Amino acid sequence: MNQQENHTATREVVKVELGERSYDIQIGRNLFDTDGQVITTLMQNCRVAIVSDTNVANLHLVALQSLLDSASIQHTQIILPAGEATKSYQHLQQVCDAVLEARLERNDWIIALGGGVIGDLAGFAAGLVRRGMRFIQIPTSLLAQVDSSVGGKTGINSSHGKNLVGLFNQPSLVFADTAILDTLPDRDFKAGYAEIAKYGLIDDPAFFEWLERNWRGIFSGGPEREEAIAHSCRAKARVVASDEFENGCRALLNLGHTFGHALEKAANYDTALLVHGEGVSIGMVMAFSFSQSLELCSAEDTARVKSHLAEVGLPVSVSQLPFQLPGVDYLLDIIAQDKKVSRGKLTFILARGIGKSFIQNDVPIEKVRQFLDKALKQ
> Which CATH number goes with the domain that contains 341?
1.20.1090.10
Indicate if 164 and 131 belong to the same structural domain: yes
pLDDT reported for residue 7 = 54
pLDDT digits (tens, 9 = 90+) for 90-129: 999 999 999 999 999 999 999 999 999 999 999 999 999 9
Q: Is residue 3 part of a domain?
A: no
195 is catalytic: yes
Of 226, 246, 264, 278, the catalytic one is 246
The CA angle 111-117-118, to the nearest 5 degrees, is 15
Of 190, 250, 304, 308, the catalytic one is 250
287: confidence class by pLDDT, cuts 50, 70, 90: very high
Give the H or E element holding residue 224.
helix 223-242
Q: Is residue 232 part of a domain?
A: yes
pLDDT reported for residue 9 = 59
308 is catalytic: no
131 is catalytic: yes
55 is catalytic: no
Of 55, 157, 169, 254, the catalytic one is 254
246 is catalytic: yes
Q: Is residue 367 part of a domain?
A: yes
Handedness of CA 351, 352, 356, 358 (dihedral sign): negative
Range of the domain at 360: 195-375
- pLDDT beyond 60 at 339: no
pLDDT reported for residue 345 = 73
Cβ within 8 Å of residue 300, ≥6 positions away:
none
Number of domains in the chain: 2
Q: Which residues are registered as beta bridge partners of 111?
A: 50, 136
Phi, psi (rounded to 5 degrees) for 239? -70, -45
Q: Is residue 60 part of a domain?
A: yes
Residue where a domain terminates, one of 163, 183, 203? 183
Contact indicator for 256, 283 with CB cutoff of 8 Å: yes
Of 29, 91, 198, 261, the catalytic one is 261
Q: Which residues are registered as beta bridge partners of 12?
A: 27
pLDDT reported for residue 75 = 98
pLDDT digits (tens, 9 = 90+) for 57-81: 999 999 999 999 999 999 999 999 9
304 is catalytic: no
Of 84, 195, 226, 264, the catalytic one is 195
